[in-house]
Structure 1
């Protein structure tokens, strides 16, 4: 896997995704290799390597991202009754691009 799958593959169109919600600065789509029965990823279209590297200048983007996560989580919760939202840091973060998982169900693997 590339260091930044989201910039290298998703945002440049090399890997096609099933979009759930998109704004000018944020993309939410069904995970390409889901770990849960419902597994959606939300990413900023701007490269930000992780939650820990956010800067004050990213505040508006972060609010937009959280708004998209909230909308998607509301859709999943409406349909399935619950969901989980998570992000990974450090060695847990396979792709070094800030991304959030919105998921429902028990792990598939």
Structure 2
């Protein structure tokens, strides 16, 4: 599996940096964001180092499908019952800060949001 020794998410996959894991399988690691924007904020990352969504190839279709199908299952397990948001920032202009493909999933009550 491709790995970038300087990538913080690759280091999390390799257990060199601790994380609060939610799910792990042969392809994906899911953990809580250390700077959450919502009561529940998790990151889904492939164990394979792919720098961004712009670098996806046809052979990654099943991996991306797996990530997308997993989100509602995990959010339900984490108690999110009234909807959630998914975000994939791509590239510098797209707001990507860590250049290892990742999907944010955020949910839970937000009392500061407009009603």
The bucket for the TM-score relative to the shorter chain is: 0.7 to 0.9
- Specify the alignment match of 1:88 in structure 2: 89
- Specify the alignment match of 1:31 in structure 2: 33
CA contact (8 A) 2:46 2:63 kept: yes
> Shift in Å at residue 81 of structure 1?
1.6
Which fold has the larger relative contact order, with Cα–Cα distance below 8 Å and residues 6 or more apart in sequence?
1
Partners of 2:41 and 2:88 in 1: how far apart? 13
TM-score using structure 2 length: 0.76
* Structure 2: 5+ residue stretches without partners: none
TM-score using structure 1 length: 0.80
Root-mean-square deviation (Å): 2.3
Structure number with greater Rg is 2
Partners of 1:23 and 1:86 in 2: how far apart? 21
CA contact (8 A) 1:50 1:98 kept: yes
Give the paired residue count.
104
> Shift in Å at residue 100 of structure 1?
0.5
* Structure 1: 5+ residue stretches without partners: none
